[in-house]
Structure 1
């Protein structure tokens, strides 16, 4: 069977790919060092496939189709956004494993939307660019949840989705070594009057909940509170919940937290180190 052996979460703010230099150099260097640490850990863990969890930003699907959960099982390329400054190019998927996760989900009450061809946006392209692309022969399975555009997926369902993905990986007959990467957040206001604001207090409270794996506390957060306190971009903690749901026991390694106003984000990168 395949083994889920790694789990990470990273910011996916598009300025990381398009204009990183608009931010303070020391902060940028800290973020890039954290991405490098993830690459090192992925290499140490001998990862073959990374399942990357992102969310559409009214770029890929809206308004004609707004999937709650989607998996890419075929051709993948990216990025969708030309303004990121990176030429659109093919990205290696793992179709056999992706189809297995799809079918396993169907058999366990998860009605996936399915993309047989998918052009990914920055939410999964940024971690691809900064981690996966720099590694040898690591494939990427893109998963999207409704964490950026209304109507939003329920946070509890994100935890359940992560649990199901972990079970599906364990049920896969191959011998791949797999990582899951949640993306996005933390506090940021997208296209709003407060764009550029970062709520460090909220971010540290969220990091503390993640450190304790206090999923109940995270599920108790209302959308109204998150929107008012941390902005519409903070809804992306749902993507992190998918990764947390996939890992039952972990010790959190906070690789980086930088409140970067020019990037409009409380920029956070972590590893969930598996505990016995």
Structure 2
């Protein structure tokens, strides 16, 4: 039977690609090392499929279609942005599992929007390319997009409940799969606003503490107004973290790295959440 083997949170900040490696700052080296650590851990967990929960940045879906949550069930490629050293072609998908999750949702109160062809942006593409696909054990990356970047936003509790549904669907899948769930997003950042470049390390560390304690409730109690005041509009992406935590309920996490500095426009948090032994 399929099972959830573990989970991670990580940023999808593309700032690491702005300079060639020989010109990286110490902060950029630490961030790349954190991605590499997650890639190594995914291999050690013997994951066969990685579900990446990301956000739309108003480039995949425009005003004509704004899904609350969506799963890619067919062809996946990307990222559509061109980054040095990062392929832009096919991202292998576990189509059978993705379709099962969508169908299971329809039968249990989660009406997924479905993309049979999806060219992802850096929200999915960066973790897929840097953390999932380097592992020979991983044969598929299932993309999940939440409305966590563009209004109307998926409610916090619905995002968390969706993670629980993903867990239930995986455990109902009659296949020998070890699944890792990644919540992809920045913490504090102000996107396209005069404050862009500002971060709030206190808020970031508070979010990371919730992840480490395995306690989503303080985040679930935040209003969007409170999130914006403390972390900017980019911090709406903590919904992606909550979705991952919903897939590993009550599981404690371990901090891998936290970075903020002039190289980034966001507070960058990396953590692992372990499935119970």
TM-score (norm 2): 0.94
2:34, 2:256 within 8 Å by CA — same for their partners in 1?
yes
Asked if 1:173 corresponds to 2:174, the answer is: yes
Asked if 1:89 corresponds to 2:115, the answer is: no
Asked if 1:114 corresponds to 2:131, the answer is: no
When residues 255 and 153 of structure 1 are mapped into structure 2, their CA distance, relative to the original with a 3 A threshold, is same
1:175, distance to aligned residue in structure 2 (A): 0.4
**Poorly superposed stretches of 4+, deviation over 6 Å:** 20-24
2:163, 2:244 within 8 Å by CA — same for their partners in 1?
yes
When residues 234 and 245 of structure 1 are mapped into structure 2, their CA distance, relative to the original with a 3 A threshold, is same
1:162, 1:242 within 8 Å by CA — same for their partners in 2?
yes
When residues 17 and 71 of structure 1 are mapped into structure 2, their CA distance, relative to the original with a 3 A threshold, is farther
When residues 268 and 102 of structure 1 are mapped into structure 2, their CA distance, relative to the original with a 3 A threshold, is same
Q: What is aligned with 1:183?
A: 184
Asked if 1:216 corresponds to 2:198, the answer is: no
Structure 2: 5+ residue runs without aligned partners? none
Q: What is aligned with 2:40?
A: 40
When residues 259 and 20 of structure 1 are mapped into structure 2, their CA distance, relative to the original with a 3 A threshold, is farther
When residues 176 and 83 of structure 1 are mapped into structure 2, their CA distance, relative to the original with a 3 A threshold, is closer
Deviates more, 1:219-228 or 1:17-26: 17-26
Deviates more, 1:51-60 or 1:219-228: 219-228
Aligned equivalents of 1:259, 1:170: Cα separation in 2: 37
1:213, distance to aligned residue in structure 2 (A): 2.5
Aligned equivalents of 2:219, 2:24: Cα separation in 1: 31
Structure 1: 5+ residue runs without aligned partners? none
Q: What is aligned with 2:26?
A: 26
Deviations 1:146-187 (A, max 9, x none): 000010000000111000000000000000111000010210
Asked if 1:67 corresponds to 2:31, the answer is: no
Aligned equivalents of 2:201, 2:40: Cα separation in 1: 28
When residues 175 and 4 of structure 1 are mapped into structure 2, their CA distance, relative to the original with a 3 A threshold, is same
Aligned equivalents of 1:93, 1:8: Cα separation in 2: 19
Q: What is aligned with 1:132?
A: 132
3-state SS in 2 of match to 1:40? helix
TM-score (norm 1): 0.95
Aligned equivalents of 1:188, 1:102: Cα separation in 2: 32
Asked if 1:145 corresponds to 2:146, the answer is: yes
Aligned equivalents of 2:61, 2:128: Cα separation in 1: 20
Aligned equivalents of 1:79, 1:69: Cα separation in 2: 19
When residues 23 and 213 of structure 1 are mapped into structure 2, their CA distance, relative to the original with a 3 A threshold, is farther
Q: CA RMSD in A?
A: 1.8
Deviates more, 1:225-234 or 1:138-147: 225-234
Which aligned pairs between 1:4-23 and structure 2 lie closer than 5 A?
Answer: 4-19=4-19
Aligned equivalents of 1:23, 1:211: Cα separation in 2: 33
1:212, distance to aligned residue in structure 2 (A): 2.1
Q: What is aligned with 2:256?
A: 255
Q: What is aligned with 1:56?
A: 56
Deviations 1:111-168 (A, max 9, x none): 1110000000110111012112211151100000000001000000011100000000
Asked if 1:231 corresponds to 2:232, the answer is: yes
Aligned equivalents of 2:65, 2:261: Cα separation in 1: 32
